[in-house]
Structures are given as structure tokens and as C-alpha cells.
Amino acid sequence: MDDYYGQLAHDYEWLFPDETVDGWSSFGATSPGSQVLLEAAIRALPPGAAVLDCACGIGSDAIKLARRGLAVTASDGSPAMVAEARRRSEQHGVTMPVFQSLWQDLPHRVPGPFELVVCLGNSFVHTKTRPDRITALQGIKKVLAPNGTLIIDSRNWELLHNSRPRIVPARKVIERRGLRCSSLYIWTIPNEFESPYTAEIVLLFEDAEARISHRRHVIEFTPFSHYDLAESIDAAGFTVRESSYRTDTSFYALSATVRQAETPGPGAHSAFPPLQPPD
């Protein structure tokens, strides 16, 4: 997985309001539209349950979960994001281990098992192919408890492709430490759905003397459909239990559990038929 976040990790907080990144707001603020699904998974856990945030970014969701009395471990594929998550957890007085690991390497780098694994922030799009997705999911599965739950969220790439925006500004200006920041995404979206998309993230800063500066970060995404993600989850040995996907919403999440092995008798059929692609 390419590390697009080596520099962006230091600016990532400017993409979100305080209530999302400060560690005090409700869990799931980074997954708009999926809070009900996420909250249901958290409430089903016993106090002190082991939870892994395997795409922790700067650590906002992991810090929130730790503050709810869960035994949280965090990991991310980007060394810069790991360093920022460690710094912010110390800043907020939250003790939690943070590991640098790709998803497929989790069994060798992160001690499990976990009763819940979350993969949020639209991070799974950095798996570039279906085999990559399945390999990553199999790595996650190996650190998940047999009866544990996996939650993955994603941008609705079909909706983005169909609407084909060029410039998407943030909903409001962020003010921190004497700076005002306006952010925007400049999208380059190819005609072919599964070809790489490019997002130029531009941050415009205004200081106390009204001087303007900017920083620019470029990220490449290889999109997948809701069906493709669900099919990859199924192929990796999971069963999808819930989905917040809607054709008209920008983000969604899927909840899945490890499929238990069965020994079919003569003439028996699988209890988990293959997913059918959309019309």
C-alpha cells in the first residue's frame, strides 16, 4: 500500500471539525451515516472488551473507544499516521498501544484476538485489487475472535462516479491555534469506474494578519462498488450481517462476522450462497 499520508498526517486534522478529531465526541464521527450501526456494535461489547482500530489514522476513533472503557489497540499502515496517533493519545492522556502494520501483516505484528475490529475513514480503498482486498481481510480475520465483529466503512464510489464532481469544498472553516483553514478536494475521475481516481487536497490557511498560505496533498484511490466490497468480505470467509449502504448517501459501513466452518452432508448445499451482482 502506497503511503500517501507521510506529509498529510500532520495536516489531517484540518479536514475535520473539532468534534470529530478531539477524542471527546461520539464514536463514528468519521463515518457519517453509519453511527447507528457502529454504536450498536459498541453497546454489544462487555466492559473492557478488546478492540482493534486497524486504520487508526491520527487516532481519533481509537481514543474515543478507549475513553469508553474498552481495551483498545490501534494500528495503521502509515508510519506518519502511527506517529501522530501516538502523539495525540499521549496529549489526551489515553494509554493505548499503536502499531505500524498493513492489514495482511496484522497476525505477525498485533497481539489479538479482538472482539471487535474497525476499519474506518474510507481507508480500505487503498487495497487496489480484489485479491488485495481478500488478502487484507484474511489478515484481519486472523486477529478477530471467533465470535467477533468486523466493521468496514467506505465512500460510496458509485455515487461519486455518477455525480462526477470536480471541486468539493469543506462545509465550514476550521479555526485552531490562531489559524483559519478552508479545505477542498479537487477530483480527477476517469470514465472507467475501476480506474484510479485522484484527489488533490488543498488547504488554504489564513493567519491573524490575514496572510494566506496553502498546502497541497495528492492521494490516489482505486474504487470498488458496494457489491465488490461485500463479495470480497464473503470470499475472505466472513458473513455480512448489516449494511448502512444506500444509493443516495455518500458513505456506508458493513458489519460482518467470521463464517463458521461447516461439513456438508451428501447433497447438502451451503448455507451461504454466493452473492449476486446488481442488475
pLDDT at 194: 86
Residue 22, pLDDT above cutoff 80: no
Sign of torsion over alpha carbons 21, 24, 27, 32: negative
Q: State the CB neighbour count (10 A cutoff) for residue 129.
A: 12
Q: Which CATH number fits domain 21-156+225-258: 2.100.10.30, 3.90.550.10, 3.40.50.1100, 3.40.50.150?
A: 3.40.50.150
Query: pTM of the full predicted structure?
Result: 0.90
pLDDT in tens, 148-180: 999 999 999 999 999 999 999 998 999 999 999
CATH code linked to domain 159-221: 2.20.130
pLDDT in tens, 48-106: 999 999 999 999 999 999 999 999 999 999 999 999 999 999 999 999 999 999 999 99
pLDDT in tens, 189-201: 999 998 999 999 9
Higher-pLDDT residue of 185, 262: 185
pLDDT at 23: 63
Q: Where are the alpha helices (DSSP H) in 184-256?
A: 226-235
SS3 248: coil
114 within 8 A of 145, measured Cβ to Cβ: yes
Task: State mean pLDDT over 33-61.
Answer: 93
Residue 264, pLDDT above cutoff 50: no
Sequence ranges of the domains in the chain = 21-156+225-258, 159-221
